[in-house]
Structure 1
Amino acid sequence: MLPPGGRISGARLARLLGSWQRGGARQCSTDLAAAVKLLVADGRLPVGTRLPSERELTEALPVSRTTVTTALDQLRAEGVVESRRGAGSWINGPVGAGGGITGGDDTLIDLSRAAPPALPSVRLAMDTAMAAMPEHLASHGYDERGLPLLRQRIADRFAARGLPTSPDQIVVTSGAQHAWALVLRLFAGPGDRVLVEQPSYPNALEAVRASFAIPVPVPMLTDGWDVDGYEAAVRQAGPRLAYLIPDFQNPTGLRMPSEAREALSAVLRKTRTPLVVDETLVELALDEREAPLPMAAFGGDSVVTLGSASKSHWGGLRVGWIRASRDVVHRLLSTRAATDLGTPVFEQLVLAALLESPEAVLRPRRAEARIRRDVAVEALRQHCPQWSFEVPAGGLAVWCALDGPVSTRIAVVAQNHGLRLVPGSRFAVHGGCEQMLRVPYTQPPEVLREAIGRLGVVAASVAGTGFPADADLAAPVA
């Protein structure tokens, strides 16, 4: 069976490719293959798109038939293109989370996921959870709120951070992404506008689009959040909802100071705009600084807070939570059954065990992340000295300003050097951020050194290449 998708004409593909030739005649086929991969990585050649015939493409570019054939052979070998006799060729390899072609080499060093492996404490917590399971096996196992023990411990963690919270303000979910989807379902509908940071977490943006709402970007300043920009955006866009990551923002790593939290909360309260705060990275403070109070301490009942164990403990647990007013919790629970019937009991018991003495678990995680951050910073300064960045005070990644708009090109070329990366454009609402690149430091130190050494080679190879002027990278997404 052939994949669904429309056919692109040779003339249209030639326009998209633009000035794709970078080297001499001997490198022509390699340049053509690389240019097609750029279009796939940027989403302008979606999976399933039927390609023109070799003859049509030869006439449209124009190049020799040998050049086209060799380029297609290379793309087929890499899994980007698939062909069948009598059926033609089509795009086979989707752009994955790393901005590379999925289905490729599993030996790639993955710098696409800012998520660390589990600590030994997770294994010990699993033993505790297994011992506690028998008392739950006699029940039906469904609980749309979450286990009382886990909700109490999550509430206690909020209280320890200066935000008094009761267990009936907590709903346990299957990760923060699931929590965000539930909140979107409650607050926003088709055509509604949702204020988001620019840049922001790609999966959060995709969730907004999946709900048929419209993400409205508010650009971040180099040193943080533009409160005046949010006030203008609220006035002009009339959003139903705002979504922020104030603690070690993904991808910039910035943390919002108390003054900005108070001012921004006042702007949103004045217009009665609900605020959803993503605290997935809040526990990963790596420098000894006094932490600001949670946003809900400033915004009150108008703030819904999302949390997760994925960054602080282990993504494989798939346990998150929502903290909200009792009224919002009631409304969430009344609609949850349409999407799921609760979070798995065993995983909840594992997290409850981890939260029994939370600091004993989190101290080793922070120490590990601090070492890896310092290794990444040192390696970036050594191998990519032409880039600039701020050393993050927390979180799991460095947000680098490149020496040109080459982020997607770096992500594509990096595959040939055994790296998987996310181009900066994935963090933007309507494209852009091509001069930025997120470099996570979640790999072991020796792997990080090797990966960033390779990244330096990639950066040098594409320095100053940029994009064709007619590549249409800023096409809006509805």
Structure 2
Amino acid sequence: MTGQVRGVQLARLLGQWHALPGRRRSPDYAALAGSVRGLLADGRLPLGVRLPAERELAEALRISRTTVTAAYRQLRETGHLASRRGAGSWTMLPGNHRVASTGLWTPLDDREMLDLGVAALAAPPQLLSAARAATEDLPRYLSGAGYHPTGIIELREAVADAYTARGLPTSADQIMVTSGTQHALDLVLRLALAPGGTVLVESPTYPNALAALAGRRARITTHGLAADGGWEPDLLLGSLRQTRPKLAYLIPEFQNPTGHLMPASLRERVVAAAHAVGTDLIIDESFVDLAMDGTELPPPVATYDRHSRVVSIGGMSKPYWGGLRIGWVRASAPQVQRLAAVRVGVDMASPVLDQLVAVHLLADAEAIVADRRVQLAVQRDALLGALAHQLPEWRVTVPRGGVTLWAELDGPVSSALARAAEEVGVRLAPGPRFGLDGTLERFLRLPFTLPAADLVEAVGRLAAIRYDLDRAGRQRWREPAVIA
């Protein structure tokens, strides 16, 4: 087992479970069991965690123990819960499910699912030629052991050149190649954050970053992003000065999930404030290549760094392909060496062949990224058009880059909508996945990485499901407060 969740913690995650609309009326125990399954499906409740005792959860939810007992029984019957007398009950993977590409649970028969839970593109056509060229380059590495903790020199130089071209002079000694951006984040946290350290993050933010911070037992504080404007400068700088966190994790380019772009003036002020309070900045640049509509990017955040307070991370997953597990860290040369020392206790090095593929892709970056931007703009506009036609009550700010829309729904129904959508072949990432303790139920992330026709079809199915939710549960709702 990975741990235990207390009654009050699970109650916060469940939120207004008893009031969530459904496609059909159900008793309280079934609604509770369904809400727990929803938490399991979208990763907010992990595999192998022990749930609170029936009496403890009943007290936390202020319901009868009989209701909790019946809900646990139903979860055992569906394979989501295992119990042993004297040992408690813990979550498990049902026999008819598997771990999907997102790391979340999914039914075995979901091959035809329209997956809007993954914000990543299929591979570009240039990948095959890059792979062939990489195999021709491979022999010159075969005489050695193949371990390169900071990465092969060709790739480090290519990444450094890309930073230099953006106006941030960078040498290969400042680059460490990792097995994806998530791996880069994990290594930085291992080096820079002691267990229990305080970290400031945006809200909403990338769910896997929250998972990485939870793995380090970090104390997380949040800065709420405005739905239509992004960062509130005075509030963000005030949060840094008041909480004085050890680290701050920010996504300034087309923020995941909101798509916001941080202006240059705020970037400079954030770096200055971080230095003043002793905070190191982790800047996630996963989407920096995916500007659209002729958007001109501000200088990289590290441009304003004079004291080695900024560590930038990025990778190949978003502009190229998620299956190519290549990421990187840009930091000072001494920091890179310390990261390499940490790394050898984790995975030694990234695969040489994958790095060679990345070298060839980056050599053709101008053409590949240009094609990606055109593709994403078409798909984004198709998704926006479908939403305007089918779900006009939803509010969406048009992003100028990235791969996601952040939709404000017409009610706090994100989790209920996600559960109902599974039944009609659409997978969603509900708003609470991107925040803490069950907030953001009024929001939904919608990536535009699928073909345009699939996006239009998915929105049509969601519109029908939203209508069904209204018919079943509208009379239960009062006008909710906006959650930002």
Place the TM-score, normalised by the shorter chain, in its bin: 0.7 to 0.9
- The partner residue of 1:42 within 39, 43, 48 is 39
Structure 1's 258 and 88: CA in aligned 2 closer, same or farther, altered over 3 A? closer
The question of whether the paired residues in 1 share the 8 Å contact of 2:168 and 2:302 is answered with yes
Percent identity over the alignment is: 41
CA distance in 1, matches of 2:162, 2:22: 58
Structure 1's 421 and 139: CA in aligned 2 closer, same or farther, altered over 3 A? same
CA distance in 2, matches of 1:8, 1:163: 47
- The partner residue of 1:120 within 105, 122, 125 is 125
Deviation at 1:89, TM superposition (A): 9.3
Structure 1's 315 and 96: CA in aligned 2 closer, same or farther, altered over 3 A? closer
CA distance in 2, matches of 1:98, 1:129: 28
Is 1:195 the equivalent of 2:192? no
Is 1:353 the equivalent of 2:360? yes
Count of paired positions: 451
Structure 1's 96 and 291: CA in aligned 2 closer, same or farther, altered over 3 A? same
Q: Secondary structure at the match of 2:210?
A: helix
- The partner residue of 1:246 within 249, 252, 255 is 252
Deviation at 1:327, TM superposition (A): 2.1
Is 1:228 the equivalent of 2:234? yes
Deviation at 1:257, TM superposition (A): 1.0
Q: Secondary structure at the match of 1:314?
A: coil
CA distance in 2, matches of 1:468, 1:100: 30
**1:152 aligned partner:** 157
**2:61 aligned partner:** none
Structure 1's 467 and 272: CA in aligned 2 closer, same or farther, altered over 3 A? farther
Deviation at 1:232, TM superposition (A): 2.3
The question of whether the paired residues in 1 share the 8 Å contact of 2:241 and 2:273 is answered with no
The question of whether the paired residues in 2 share the 8 Å contact of 1:406 and 1:465 is answered with no
1:113 is aligned with what amino acid? V
CA distance in 1, matches of 2:30, 2:102: 19
CA distance in 2, matches of 1:18, 1:276: 35
Is 1:263 the equivalent of 2:269? yes
**1:400 aligned partner:** 407
Runs of at least 5 residues in structure 2 that lack an aligned partner in the other structure = 59-63
Structure 1's 131 and 50: CA in aligned 2 closer, same or farther, altered over 3 A? same
Is 1:444 the equivalent of 2:451? yes
Is 1:102 the equivalent of 2:106? yes
2:247 is aligned with what amino acid? L
CA distance in 2, matches of 1:112, 1:178: 20
**1:130 aligned partner:** 135
1:28 is aligned with what amino acid? S
- The partner residue of 2:322 within 312, 315, 328 is 315
CA distance in 2, matches of 1:45, 1:429: 12
CA distance in 1, matches of 2:5, 2:169: 57
Deviation at 1:18, TM superposition (A): 6.3
The question of whether the paired residues in 2 share the 8 Å contact of 1:8 and 1:51 is answered with yes
Q: Secondary structure at the match of 2:305?
A: helix
Q: Secondary structure at the match of 2:444?
A: strand
Q: Mapping of 1:30-429 within 5 angstroms?
A: 33-42=30-39, 47=47, 72=74, 76=77, 80=80, 92-93=92-93, 101-107=105-111, 108-222=113-227, 223-300=229-306, 301-429=308-436
1:39 is aligned with what amino acid? V
Q: Secondary structure at the match of 1:307?
A: strand
Q: Secondary structure at the match of 2:318?
A: helix
CA distance in 1, matches of 2:35, 2:103: 10
Q: Secondary structure at the match of 2:253?
A: coil
Q: Secondary structure at the match of 2:208?
A: helix
Structure 1's 188 and 443: CA in aligned 2 closer, same or farther, altered over 3 A? same
Deviation at 1:234, TM superposition (A): 2.3
CA distance in 2, matches of 1:154, 1:372: 28
Structure 1's 99 and 404: CA in aligned 2 closer, same or farther, altered over 3 A? farther
Report the aligned-residue RMSD: 3.6
Q: TM-score, normalised by structure 2?
A: 0.83
CA distance in 2, matches of 1:320, 1:425: 27
1:40 is aligned with what amino acid? R
1:140 is aligned with what amino acid? A
Structure 1's 357 and 414: CA in aligned 2 closer, same or farther, altered over 3 A? same
Deviation at 1:76, TM superposition (A): 5.0
2:275 is aligned with what amino acid? R
The question of whether the paired residues in 1 share the 8 Å contact of 2:33 and 2:74 is answered with no
Runs of at least 5 residues in structure 1 that lack an aligned partner in the other structure = none
CA distance in 1, matches of 2:5, 2:276: 50
CA distance in 2, matches of 1:4, 1:272: 33
2:38 is aligned with what amino acid? A
Structure 1's 45 and 148: CA in aligned 2 closer, same or farther, altered over 3 A? closer
Structure 1's 432 and 239: CA in aligned 2 closer, same or farther, altered over 3 A? same
1:406 is aligned with what amino acid? V
Structure 1's 351 and 72: CA in aligned 2 closer, same or farther, altered over 3 A? same
CA distance in 1, matches of 2:52, 2:197: 36
**1:28 aligned partner:** 26
Structure 1's 135 and 39: CA in aligned 2 closer, same or farther, altered over 3 A? same
CA distance in 1, matches of 2:91, 2:21: 23
1:125 is aligned with what amino acid? A
The question of whether the paired residues in 1 share the 8 Å contact of 2:326 and 2:354 is answered with yes
Q: TM-score, normalised by structure 1?
A: 0.84
CA distance in 2, matches of 1:4, 1:231: 36
Deviation at 1:250, TM superposition (A): 0.2
The question of whether the paired residues in 2 share the 8 Å contact of 1:100 and 1:415 is answered with no
CA distance in 1, matches of 2:391, 2:117: 18
CA distance in 1, matches of 2:249, 2:439: 20
Deviations 1:356-383 (A, max 9, x none): 1310111111111111111111111111
CA distance in 2, matches of 1:243, 1:398: 21
Deviation at 1:254, TM superposition (A): 0.4
Q: Secondary structure at the match of 2:163?
A: helix
The question of whether the paired residues in 2 share the 8 Å contact of 1:174 and 1:319 is answered with yes
Structure 1's 266 and 92: CA in aligned 2 closer, same or farther, altered over 3 A? same
CA distance in 2, matches of 1:133, 1:221: 48
